[in-house]
Amino acid sequence: MFGVAQVVLAMKNKTINFYAGIVSVSLYIYVFYQFGLYAESLLQIYYLIVSVAGIVLWQKKGEKALLAITKTSQGEWIKATALFLGLFVLLFFILKTYTTSNVPYADALVSALAWAGTWMMIHRKLENWLILNASNVIAIPLLIYKGLELTAVLTLIYFIVAVLGYFRWKREMRSNKT
């Protein structure tokens, strides 16, 4: 419930989304760890930190947001790609070497994509929704495989909301330019 609220509120560009996210990720840290999705559990800790950062970055002064929705620049794509690749390699190595994970590749891939997409979201980059959905597409079968069918359904809801979020943010970005 809190996870869906977080994504819907993010789609609507509301700072309160991060408060719902804090509750949701706090619960998922434990759940993912119990099911052996260690990178996903670590991702939830990252989401917790990002939620606090997002509250600060998205604060409003009067009617004007401090941070406008914009397209990702070439330099930002380079940073997001470096973040993704670095985290993927690091997480895969840690999962393969130091854990009992039986899905180190998929767990690292989902988590690294989500880290990069979330970094883009807190900077209000339109394309964050695309990167987060790439993570969602891989996460759904992974969650089913790990016996987390209800979380897979929730991730499917996230996917749908992310599609809507992309188009809503795109409209808002265009209207703010005029």
Taking the CA atoms of 12, 135, 40 and 57 in sequence, report the sign of the dihedral they define: negative
Is residue 4 a contact partner of residue 157, using CB atoms and an 8 Å limit?
A: yes
pLDDT tens for 58-69 read 775 444 555 788
pTM over 0.85: no
Name, in order, each residue with C-beta under 8 angstroms of 55's C-beta and a sequence gap of 6 or more. 15, 18, 19
- Angle ∠(53,113,144) on CA atoms, nearest 5: 110
State how far Cα 22 lies from the chain centre. 13
pLDDT tens for 113-155 read 999 999 998 888 999 999 999 999 999 999 999 999 999 999 9
Taking the CA atoms of 143, 16, 132 and 170 in sequence, report the sign of the dihedral they define: positive
pLDDT tens for 34-81 read 998 888 898 899 889 988 888 887 775 444 555 788 999 999 999 999
Catalogue the E-assigned strands of the chain: 60-61, 64-65
Report the 10 Å Cβ neighbour count for 175: 8
Which pLDDT does position 64 carry in this prediction? 54
State how far Cα 3 lies from the chain centre. 11
As to burial, measured by CB atoms within 10 angstroms (0-12 exposed, 13-18 middle, 19+ buried), residue 55 is middle
